[in-house]
Amino acid sequence: MVLDVRIRCCLLLLVTILCQTVTVTTAQTWLRSLIDSTNGTIDIKSFPGEQCLRVCDDTQPRICYFSWTMEHYHAMGPACRACSKGSPQDCFHPACLTADGVERGVMSLNRQIPGPMISVCKDDLIVVDITNAMAGTSATIHWHGLHQRATPHMDGVPFITQCPIQFGNTFRYAYLATEAGTQFYHSHSGHHKVNGHYGALIVREPKRADPNSALYDYDSSSHVIVGSDWMHVDGEMFMPGLPSSGGILPVNLLINGRGTFKENENSSRTNVPLEVFYVQRGKRFRFRFINAASHVCPLQLQIEDHTMEIIASDSFHLQPHKVDTLVTTSGERYDFVVHANGVKDTYWVRLRALGSCEQLQLEQFAVLSYKHDPKEKLAFPQEEPPPYDKPFAGARTANHPNATCGQPAFGDYCITDFQAYDTDESIINGEPKHIFTLGFSNFLVSFHHMFETHAYEHFMNIHDELMLQGAINDLSFAYPPFPLLTQPEEIDESMFCTNGTRPARCADRQLCTCIHRLKIELGDLVELYILDRTGMIDDLNHPFHLHGYQMYVMELGQDRRVPVTYEIARELAKRRFTTRNTSQLPPRKDTVSIPSRGYARVRFRADNPGFWLMHCHFEWHTAVGMALVLQVGNTDQMVKPPSNFPKCNSYTPKVDDLLNGHI
């Protein structure tokens, strides 16, 4: 069968971009030899992605093909048969999606939540055909953590890098696995992620490339933990919201899509399986934790009577550090080593929601087993999990929401207390070309503006008459009607707004809804001060994700004055700079959790041209405008998509053009 023209175009494009680099990479050589030797005569579908799970030492890159179907599906639907009535084998039918045992409609990928795991080696070519079978719904998938240097049009952000995939259509994502580590994928459309569109994307590397490889014996796909929050209704129920609700909050948590639910003390627990992780006594196991939550609540992970030796965050290596408790916010990933030195046969893996969710006492459990009994048995433990008011012992916590970063108390560590193994002196000690202050907020909007001026702007209704729009520098992000990256010929410079260039319609308003863009020249050194101006409670830390880049986290700070300002941040930064260890190697991340009523100072080199979204990773905050688009370079410096890349835009022709030839 002839090589599909789309994948052939993608291969040629990848080779072209890679050949622009000075160093000849393994991926470049492999792609060139593939094209030259096959002359387009291979069947891309004959390379099943499941076979790409392998030891990555001294291995050649592979093509890893996956075929997924997006579907409106259901948890505890008819495929589960008698699962909830005590038939364990029915719970493990491939089409049975149990979640927490409560029936509800969901959005699934191949009838799974999380979706299928991608597990490949660095420099493999990942090809994913996604068919949208969700009637009335369009969608995209973002590959969180991959920088897409050769294929920015595969970043998966609707109306920034591509048109959303329409019902009945198939879109082929094809990109190189260039960033090794723990990544994940999720929908970037609406509230599809909280409805179920997310999954693990693991890119392994040769052990010689991992400075922490001597710390563990096993790195298995069976030790990936995907933590998520869960609702019993569609996320769209809370967009814009319900006045009678007590806020936009989850009702439960899931571990790898599994869990149980107990509505109150007098109700029985749902009879569905928990996730099971197998270990072998005396061995050391690398675990990978992915925070796929959508709400504002941080997730706290603990393993009963075991420590976690953290070795990576957001796929970047860290010098090892042992903790008892790991706290993360949405979009973050952490890798850690567990030494299986327990004396019992089974232990609890405990996931708890903090912050705004503490009042709800949400927690979920999985099983860590030294026994190798069938999962159907271990997933239904006879022992009740510990009650909420019986926390596990342990004083060392990573990323506690109320940590005073830069002044660590004993056992309380921020990400800036971790050290990398290497750095780029030109970035951490260079003179920035741009210093941007990005103050984010949840902006209170009035009844008059939302319902009497016919603005039709996005907003979320928290409860009663409390309505908010998300904003950065008082600009609430609105998406353009076409993807900026792949249809640059449609761009009109007047469509964008910045702090100093607002549209006339916003002249008399503090808050403006518009296409917020920061434009940066290719190669510039950029420093960002990301400031929490929400004035919210002490334990609400907003995670900010920058597509296409890694950020050097120079410092995190907190001040009790509300709201934090650039001047306050600079004052704290100057004070800490005088006492900073000059040998410090700041960690790199693509998702940074901003301290409540505090700030982060981050740096990056703008060397990846394109249009890249930067946004709060809380799903509702992104939906109501807490985002902006970063334009790096001019459009003629950006990677061009394949010639047949799909296009879209608004359709409002003049009447004579519309009717020409028809009357």
Residues 6+ apart with CB under 8 A from 7: 44, 127, 172, 174
Inform me whether the pLDDT recorded for 5 exceeds 50.
no
CB atoms within 10 A of CB 44: 19
Q: Please tell me the distance from the alpha carbon of residue 485 to that of residue 161, in angstroms, as a whole number.
A: 5
Q: Mean per-residue pLDDT for 129-158?
A: 97
pLDDT tens column, 451-479:
998 779 999 999 898 999 999 999 999 99
Q: Mean per-residue pLDDT for 366-376?
A: 96
CATH 2.60.40.420 in the chain is located at 63-398, 425-637
Query: 70 or 29, which is more confident?
Result: 70
CB atoms within 10 A of CB 234: 18
pLDDT of residue 25: 60
- The mean pLDDT value of the chain amounts to 90
Inform me whether the pLDDT recorded for 26 exceeds 70.
no
Q: Please tell me the distance from the alpha carbon of residue 250 to that of residue 232, in angstroms, as a whole number.
A: 8
Point out which residues pair with 460 in neighbouring strands: 468
Residues 6+ apart with CB under 8 A from 29: none
pLDDT of residue 8: 56
Structure tokens at 297: 């609540």
Burial 404-442 (b: 16+ CB within 10 A, else e): ebbeeeeebbbbbbbbbeebeeebeeeeeeeebbbbbbb
Inform me whether the pLDDT recorded for 334 exceeds 80.
yes
Q: What are the CA-CA distances from residue 536 to residues 115, 234, 443, 533, 594 (Å)?
A: 34, 26, 12, 8, 12
Do 532 and 546 meet the contact criterion of CB atoms below 8 Å apart? Answer: no
CB atoms within 10 A of CB 293: 31
Phi, psi of 653 (to 5 degrees): -70, 165
Q: Which fold has domain 63-398?
A: Immunoglobulin-like (2.60.40)
pLDDT of residue 19: 44
Q: Quickly tell me which residue has 């991926």 as its tokens.
A: 27
Q: Using 50, 70 and 90 to split pLDDT, how confident is the model at 215?
A: very high
Q: Please tell me the distance from the alpha carbon of residue 279 to that of residue 282, in angstroms, as a whole number.
A: 9
pLDDT of residue 596: 87
pLDDT tens column, 643-656:
999 999 999 888 87
Is residue 51 helix, strand or coil?
Answer: helix
| CATH assignment of 425-637, among 3.30.420.340, 3.40.1190.10, 2.60.40.420, 3.10.180.10 | 2.60.40.420
Q: Which helix (H) or strand (E) holds 607?
A: none
pLDDT of residue 302: 97
DSSP 222-240: GGEEEEEEE-SS-GGGGSS
Query: 642 or 584, which is more confident?
Result: 642
pLDDT tens column, 163-178:
999 999 999 999 999 9
Inform me whether the pLDDT recorded for 583 exceeds 70.
no
Q: Mean per-residue pLDDT for 208-232?
A: 97
Q: Which helix (H) or strand (E) holds 544?
A: strand 542-546
Q: Using 50, 70 and 90 to split pLDDT, how confident is the model at 400?
A: confident
Q: Mean per-residue pLDDT for 599-616?
A: 97
Q: Mean per-residue pLDDT for 537-547?
A: 86
Q: Mean per-residue pLDDT for 564-571?
A: 74
Point out the least confidently predicted range of 286-300, 399-413, 496-510: 399-413
Q: Please tell me the distance from the alpha carbon of residue 648 to that of residue 171, in angstroms, as a whole number.
A: 14
pLDDT of residue 317: 98
pLDDT of residue 21: 39
Strand (E) positions, 384-540?
397-398, 412-413, 434-444, 460-463, 466-472, 475-477, 496-497, 512-520, 525-532
Query: 2 or 325, which is more confident?
Result: 325
Positive or negative, the Cα torsion across 31, 37, 38, 40?
A: positive
CA angle 432, 436, 441 (to 5 degrees): 155
Do 137 and 165 meet the contact criterion of CB atoms below 8 Å apart? Answer: no
Q: Is the bond into 240 cis (omega within 30 degrees of 0)? A: yes
Inform me whether the pLDDT recorded for 229 exceeds 80.
yes
First to last CA, the chain: 47
Point out the least confidently predicted range of 54-58, 67-71, 344-348, 652-656: 652-656
Phi, psi of 136 (to 5 degrees): 80, 10
Q: Could you give the percent of the chain with pLDDT greater than 90?
A: 76
CB atoms within 10 A of CB 499: 14
Q: Please tell me the distance from the alpha carbon of residue 339 to that of residue 94, in angstroms, as a whole number.
A: 32
Among 528, 518, 566, 558, which Cα is nearest to 541's? 558
Inform me whether the pLDDT recorded for 434 exceeds 80.
yes
Strand (E) positions, 91-167?
104-109, 118-121, 125-132, 141-144
Q: Please tell me the distance from the alpha carbon of residue 328 to that of residue 591, in angstroms, as a whole number.
A: 10
pLDDT tens column, 477-508:
999 999 999 999 999 999 999 988 999 888 87
Phi, psi of 466 (to 5 degrees): -80, 110
pLDDT of residue 574: 66
How many Cα atoms sit within 13 Å of 399 on the Cβ side?
27
Query: 564 or 57, which is more confident?
Result: 57
pLDDT of residue 534: 83
pLDDT tens column, 82-93:
998 889 999 999
Q: Please tell me the distance from the alpha carbon of residue 246 to that of residue 248, in angstroms, as a whole number.
A: 7
pLDDT of residue 566: 72
Q: Please tell me the distance from the alpha carbon of residue 615 to that of residue 500, in angstroms, as a whole number.
A: 20
